[in-house]
Structure 1
């Protein structure tokens, strides 16, 4: 809708004709805009809806604005018709005709009753002022209608799609045993269902409560639909769907995971049995050693494993899922603990084996260097060997005996030796022994 020119001196015939042509175009533009507003889908929805809250109040105001717009338009159309009739009396209008035309076209020739918010009984307008007022009222009315229509276009359909997805998810949840009061995801589904039902009803009855004024909208005043409540429920449904998918995955993989758990716990049990057996051997073969006690089998985990199998038999997947996750973690911890106990229990035997290996390695080196028959070395070797191959073995004393043998071997090799005939020493020096120790 456009605004015509400002009042001025008495128009001549050409000016009057141009003004009437412009007013005719404006009349058509105003009429087209008002008819478009009348046929706007948002306006028709507002007329037929049971509105509440902000939208109810704003629509009551907007209906009054639209009624006043038509009243202004009728007055404007009457004024244009009167001016056209005056101009059509004569081909060459008289001075009096032009004065009257100027007053009609540029003066305050339109008188209307004051609006509902006005403090005066009547108002006078020029045709240009009347168009400007219609522009203002039209923008206000269209802004409200487009805002409500934008919300109705944006949210109810999305809520319906999300509700359909919610129904499919709820069906999956029931098949997996995820029910309200029995699983948190079931409670979430019930809450989301209630929230979407409430949200849709509120959007339908009070769309303007979900309108955020501002730039970025096709509405004349700018703005966009507020989808934050919908978005929260969509994210919550995604979280629930992932939870249910995890439960359904448990249903598919339950037997494999239970078998794997049985295997891990069996290995832990066997390792503990081996540790207990090794502890008895250590206590029999090693003296003066602190051997840690070995714990019993993981009976609590076995009981929980039996519970997990029971959940699987009765298709209680929502209970099986968290239990399996806990059991898998604790079973691995139990196997690790059993292996640590076996290592701790068999440590004295490992020390004894290391001392035995060291003693025999030094004995072989001494023999290669030609001192196999040395009386002192033989005596110390025999003493260390008796300690290491007797039961119970005192590791501290045995380690000391091995050390004394090593020391005697070094001293024997550092002593001067007679060279064999030919002056060549086919043996090796003490540094060779030290290098291999």
Structure 2
């Protein structure tokens, strides 16, 4: 027979082998029971799948049934060996030979269809029955266990990570769509509404993909196990039968991008909502700026008339008219406000605020340029009065020349039309009269001071 040349095991070797194989059996059974209770396996059973998930689950589902069938053959073979060992305390040579064949020989007969990785290889004819050792049978179970665990754990990871988050994002999308309607953002009329519709379609499609083909969103950290060649194949130690886990990560890139896109849309819509709440006040501020600009231009026109009437030989710039185009734009903004077209009102209102501020600046600049001659005349009048006060302090208020120059300057500056150049020259001459050496008070000497004391 096949085991005729196999070394005969002694009693101690048989007992150690039985203990090791018994521990392997217990580990396999615990792992299979844990796998059977895995939530991913329960969700996969009866699910309508597609794509990569359907293909891999078809293999893994068959592998799950195969695992239990192989485990039964393993347990039966181990039970047969234990029965032989239990016949007597000290087994005979024939019994030791039989035990050696059962424990390490190809004593386990399984259907060729039960071991597709051995019978299904290219170039290898299929066999109806195949005989394997217990160790080989354990290796085959290890390989198929890895295949099933990889599929089940990956599917459970995707289903645990994405569907609930997608549902929350869809609910948030619904709230954002209601916000969009409240500010007049509607499909076909505003790009934000179109973006929301597109995002809703993408999220719905992503959820359908996650439910039907979760493995399309799973990124393993290693090459997926092939049929019957999983990680752990060939490892017959009890530790090879770990709890069901998967090595990899869920691809949330598409979901994350959709979440960021929804956040961006919500921020824009919240800006429109603030605009709706602030639009009346902002329009009023624009109207106030234009009113102040009109008042400033009116003051500039009044100042221009005064300059033309009171200042001689002066070129006075023309005063611009009111900005009628801005008033038309304000009317359009009010129409947008009343009809709730906030997405159109926003950029128009920004432009109006900028234009109104510039219009007020233009009016102020016009007033400054027009009133410049009046400001020069006022400055000359102020200087003349200051020099008059200086003359009084110097005791020159009654000096004929000083009085004459003062009256000349005063007549020029207070007459209309006023010649600013002549007035400036008259003020300068009056100042020079005050600074003439003969009109400065003489400094007191010691002799004059003593004379004054003697006279006293």
Q: TM-score range by the shorter chain?
A: 0.7 to 0.9
Match of 1:44 among 20, 42, 45: 42
RMSD (CA atoms): 3.0
Match of 1:196 among 195, 203, 211: 203
- Does the residue aligned with 2:249 lie in a helix, a strand or coil? strand
Q: How far apart are the structure 2 equivalents of 1:291 and 1:67? A: 103
Aligned positions of 1:56-205 closer than 5 A: 56-110=54-108, 113=112, 115-116=116-117, 118-119=121-122, 120=124, 121=126, 125-205=132-212
Task: Decide whether aligned partners of structure 1 residues 253 and 98 sit closer, same or farther in structure 2, where only a CA change above 3 A counts.
Answer: same
- Does the residue aligned with 2:116 lie in a helix, a strand or coil? coil
Task: Decide whether aligned partners of structure 1 residues 197 and 366 sit closer, same or farther in structure 2, where only a CA change above 3 A counts.
Answer: same
Which consecutive unaligned segments of at least 5 residues does structure 2 have? 1-5, 223-242, 450-456
Alignment length (residue pairs): 415
Q: Paired residue for 1:433?
A: none
Q: Paired residue for 1:346?
A: 371
Task: Decide whether aligned partners of structure 1 residues 418 and 207 sit closer, same or farther in structure 2, where only a CA change above 3 A counts.
Answer: closer
Task: Decide whether aligned partners of structure 1 residues 413 and 168 sit closer, same or farther in structure 2, where only a CA change above 3 A counts.
Answer: farther
Q: How far apart are the structure 1 equivalents of 2:356 and 2:77? A: 93
Q: How far apart are the structure 2 equivalents of 1:398 and 1:9? A: 137
Q: Does the aligned pair in 2 maintain the 1:147–1:219 contact within 8 Å?
A: no
Q: How far apart are the structure 2 equivalents of 1:9 and 1:408? A: 142
Q: How far apart are the structure 1 equivalents of 2:382 and 2:192? A: 63
Q: How far apart are the structure 2 equivalents of 1:418 and 1:77? A: 136
- Higher deviation after alignment, 154-163 or 168-177: 168-177
Q: Paired residue for 1:231?
A: 256
- Higher deviation after alignment, 201-210 or 317-326: 317-326
Task: Decide whether aligned partners of structure 1 residues 95 and 306 sit closer, same or farther in structure 2, where only a CA change above 3 A counts.
Answer: same
Aligned-pair distance for 1:186?
A: 1.4
Q: Paired residue for 2:32?
A: 34
Task: Decide whether aligned partners of structure 1 residues 131 and 407 sit closer, same or farther in structure 2, where only a CA change above 3 A counts.
Answer: farther
Q: Paired residue for 2:226?
A: none
Aligned positions of 1:38-437 closer than 5 A: 38-110=36-108, 113=112, 115-116=116-117, 118-119=121-122, 120=124, 121=126, 125-214=132-221, 220-412=245-437, 417=442, 423=448
Q: How far apart are the structure 2 equivalents of 1:200 and 1:209? A: 12
- Does the residue aligned with 1:220 lie in a helix, a strand or coil? coil
Aligned-pair distance for 1:269?
A: 1.5
Q: Does the aligned pair in 2 maintain the 1:166–1:189 contact within 8 Å?
A: yes
Aligned-pair distance for 1:365?
A: 0.5
Aligned-pair distance for 1:67?
A: 4.3
Aligned-pair distance for 1:179?
A: 0.6
Write the deviation string for residues 188-226 of structure 1: whole angstroms up to 9, x where unpaired.
2112111111111121222122123349xx973422212
- Higher deviation after alignment, 363-372 or 85-94: 85-94
Q: Does the aligned pair in 2 maintain the 1:287–1:394 contact within 8 Å?
A: yes
Aligned-pair distance for 1:260?
A: 2.7
- Does the residue aligned with 1:212 lie in a helix, a strand or coil? strand
Q: How far apart are the structure 2 equivalents of 1:29 and 1:294? A: 99
Q: How far apart are the structure 1 equivalents of 2:314 and 2:99? A: 126
Write the deviation string for residues 303-341 of structure 1: whole angstroms up to 9, x where unpaired.
222222222333333333333333233323322332232
Q: How far apart are the structure 2 equivalents of 1:106 and 1:290? A: 121
Q: How far apart are the structure 2 equivalents of 1:404 and 1:237? A: 78
Task: Decide whether aligned partners of structure 1 residues 253 and 415 sit closer, same or farther in structure 2, where only a CA change above 3 A counts.
Answer: closer
Q: Provide TM-score, normalisation by structure 2.
A: 0.81
- Higher deviation after alignment, 357-366 or 292-301: 292-301
Q: How far apart are the structure 1 equivalents of 2:387 and 2:139? A: 114
Which consecutive unaligned segments of at least 5 residues does structure 1 have? 1-7, 425-437
Q: Paired residue for 1:432?
A: none
Aligned-pair distance for 1:357?
A: 0.7
Q: Does the aligned pair in 2 maintain the 1:139–1:220 contact within 8 Å?
A: no
**Greater length-normalized contact order (CA 8 Å, ≥ 6 residues apart):** 2
Q: Provide TM-score, normalisation by structure 1.
A: 0.84
Q: How far apart are the structure 2 equivalents of 1:109 and 1:412? A: 141
